[in-house]
């Protein structure tokens, strides 16, 4: 599935030239998690990318995104100026049936703003200095290592560690996971020594991994990432051939009129074609990946099929 996603990413970097249109002032971007995580960063990037829209942020956590999804789809389906942040984790949840009978066709996909990558981190005073040392400790005694993840069994953070564990010869269900709500909460939990390891995203590590606080052991990218994490080796470099890209973007309710939907699609397409957006995206810790409207919708549907195939390998798909 990951290789298929990379093929899709490679085909999607170009942004089409779309007509200019205005966006409404006083619009809202819903963060489907608690403040401080990658979903929060997504809405803040949208806010900066479209300053004329004067986007306000609203937080609607719960059910690893299910609360926001069902609220918008059932109660706020036609709000023309409400965006909702999503990630690859959202698509994985849809693929596994964690949103009930929901499908990708239930909402309107507006724009992908960039791509993030998974990472594995420990406290700065941790005895583990490499991914190999951590996985050896887990192999010796899986029950003694508490791993903080955003979401529950089957979430993308869970999946990253499960894939690594499987490569190390450890049954993922022997691992001890602590389910938390959002990336900000996982870093808080590790700071308090409630968990010893966190599985999260590189953009979150850039935000929270200050000197003396956190040690990032590996990034799940195909090559080392530039910037703050430039010295962090990839999992692949350390003998674990796992790459986990994480798309980030926004969607709208299914009842939004076509004209309003296109207005937002056009606005994001224009913004992403500017050098200013390139700088904003980099400052957020994201990497180039720009799709809007119909092209994004097609990509999302294919990605969900790929995630579904992988989830079935771990018997994680809920049938309805």
Tens-digit pLDDT profile for residues 10-29: 444 333 333 334 566 679 99
The answer to whether position 132 is within a domain reads yes
- Token pair of 92, please? 């994985």
What's 256's DSSP letter? Answer: S
pLDDT band, residue 232 (cuts 50/70/90): very high
The answer to whether position 319 is within a domain reads no
Q: What pLDDT is stored for residue 211 in this prediction?
A: 67
- Indicate the number of domains in the chain: 2
Is 62 in the same domain as 7? yes
Arithmetic mean of pLDDT, 110-127: 96
Write down the pTM of the prediction: 0.79
Query: 183 or 136: which carries more pLDDT confidence?
Result: 136
Let me know: does 172 contact 161? Beta carbons within 8 Å: yes
163, pLDDT greater than 80: yes
- Of how many residues is the chain composed? 320
Let me know: does 62 contact 126? Beta carbons within 8 Å: no
299, pLDDT greater than 60: yes
Closest CA to 198 of 260, 151, 255, 250: 151
Is 41 in the same domain as 188? no
Arithmetic mean of pLDDT, 204-215: 80
- DSSP secondary structure string for all residues of 91-107: HHHHHHTTTTT--GGGS
Arithmetic mean of pLDDT, 152-168: 92
3-state secondary structure of 124: coil
Is 196 in the same domain as 162? yes
104, pLDDT greater than 70: yes
User: Containing domain of residue 168, as a range?
Assistant: 122-237
The answer to whether position 138 is within a domain reads yes
The answer to whether position 320 is within a domain reads no
Is 197 in the same domain as 268? no
Is 153 in the same domain as 109? no
- Helix pair 38-49, 275-283: axis angle to 10 deg: 160
Write down the mean pLDDT value for the chain: 89
Arithmetic mean of pLDDT, 177-187: 85
The answer to whether position 131 is within a domain reads yes
d(CA 271, CA 71): 28
Q: What pLDDT is stored for residue 180 in this prediction?
A: 87
Is 290 in the same domain as 197? no
d(CA 61, CA 150): 12
What percent of the chain clears pLDDT 90, i.e. is strictly above it? 71
Q: What pLDDT is stored for residue 182 in this prediction?
A: 73
Chain centroid to Cα 26, Å, comes to 26
Arithmetic mean of pLDDT, 72-76: 95
Tens-digit pLDDT profile for residues 27-52: 999 999 888 878 999 999 999 999 99
**Residue that is written with structure tokens 């050896």 in the block:** 136
Longest dimension (CA), the chain: 59
Question: Left (φ > 0), alpha (ψ -120 to 50) or beta: where does 199 sit?
Answer: beta
Q: What pLDDT is stored for residue 14 in this prediction?
A: 36
Q: What pLDDT is stored for residue 31 in this prediction?
A: 96
Of 194, 210, 237, the residue at which a domain comes to its end is 237
Arithmetic mean of pLDDT, 258-265: 98
Q: What pLDDT is stored for residue 74 in this prediction?
A: 94
The answer to whether position 169 is within a domain reads yes
The answer to whether position 166 is within a domain reads yes
* CATH number of the structural domain spanning residue 182: 3.40.190.10
* CATH number of the structural domain spanning residue 48: 3.40.190.150
């Amino acid at each position: 599935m990951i290789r298929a996603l990379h093929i899709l990413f490679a085909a999607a970097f170009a942004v089409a030239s779309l007509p200019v249109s205005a966006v409404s002032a006083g619009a809202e971007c819903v963060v489907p998690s608690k403040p401080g995580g990658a979903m929060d960063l997504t809405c803040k990037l949208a806010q900066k990318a479209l300053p004329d829209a004067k986007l306000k942020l609203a937080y609607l956590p719960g059910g690893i995104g299910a609360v926001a999804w069902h609220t918008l789809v059932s109660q706020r389906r036609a709000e023309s100026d409400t965006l909702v942040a999503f990630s690859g984790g959202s698509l994985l949840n849809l693929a596994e049936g964690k949103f009930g009978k929901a499908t990708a066709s239930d909402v309107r996909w507006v724009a992908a703003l960039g791509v993030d990558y998974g990472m594995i981190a420990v406290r700065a005073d941790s005895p583990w200095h490499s991914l190999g040392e951590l996985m050896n400790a887990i192999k010796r005694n899986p029950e003694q290592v508490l791993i903080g993840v955003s979401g529950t069994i089957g979430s993308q953070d869970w999946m990253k560690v499960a894939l690594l564990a499987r490569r190390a010869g450890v049954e993922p269900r022997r691992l001890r996971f602590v389910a938390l709500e959002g990336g900000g909460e996982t870093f808080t939990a590790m700071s308090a020594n409630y968990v010893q390891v966190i599985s999260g995203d590189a953009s979150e590590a850039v935000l929270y991994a200050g000197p003396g606080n956190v040690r990032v052991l590996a990034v799940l990218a195909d090559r080392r990432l530039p910037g703050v994490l430039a010295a962090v080796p990839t999992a692949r470099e350390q003998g674990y051939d796992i790459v986990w890209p994480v798309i980030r973007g926004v969607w709208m309710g299914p009842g939004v009129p076509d004209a309003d939907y296109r207005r937002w699609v056009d606005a994001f397409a224009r913004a992403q074609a500017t050098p200013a957006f390139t700088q904003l995206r980099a400052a957020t810790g994201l990497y180039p990946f720009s799709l809007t409207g119909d092209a994004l919708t097609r990509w999302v549907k294919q990605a969900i099929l790929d995630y579904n195939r992988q989830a079935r390998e771990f018997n994680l798909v809920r049938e309805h």
